Amino acid sequence: MLVLLAFIIIFHITSAALLFVATIDNAWWVGDQFYTDLWKLCVNGTNCTDVLHEDFEGYTTLQAVQASMILATILCCIAFLIFLLQLFRLKQGERFVLTSIIQLMSCLCVMIAASIYTDQREEIHQNNLIYMGTMDGGYGYSFILAWVAFAFTFISGLMYLILRKRK
């Protein structure tokens, strides 16, 4: 049982780390001479500007993605703290339902953020990349990590729902 508990804790910490990296790092959309994330657009690796400004068309869309990713990260951390509290407070045989619900809410937030970004990517980056003369690029590793974090948080939420406290 101790090995299973250690695996669950490591799995949850990995999910939180993936969410942190996907939210913070600069690689949601990358091209030959630029890379952009939810916060900044960097050209040639040195010239970085804020992605959000009032006259930007995708302003509210990008804010929704930012808010969803931040909320997912916060919920994942809260779920871990609640898991640790429930680990010592629940009676044997009870399930970690509250932890599961919060982790599945985190999963939903990641899915919403990544889905909005996938659907609205052109609108989000059109004005920012238009002066470069190209939008050629591809999804970066932070975007892929967001989808991996979605899978990890989903599996983690299901594990907590199924898991019973045993000796």
Strands 34-36 and 40-43: antiparallel
Q: Indicate the range of 9-13, 58-62, 103-107, 134-138 predicted with least confidence.
A: 134-138
Domains of the chain (ranges; CATH) run: 2-162 (1.20.140.150)
| Entry pTM | 0.85
Express each pLDDT in 96-145 by its tens digit: 888 999 999 999 999 999 998 888 777 666 655 555 555 577 888 888 99
- pLDDT value, residue 93: 64
Residue 149 has which token pair?
């974090």
Express each pLDDT in 145-160 by its tens digit: 999 999 999 999 998 8
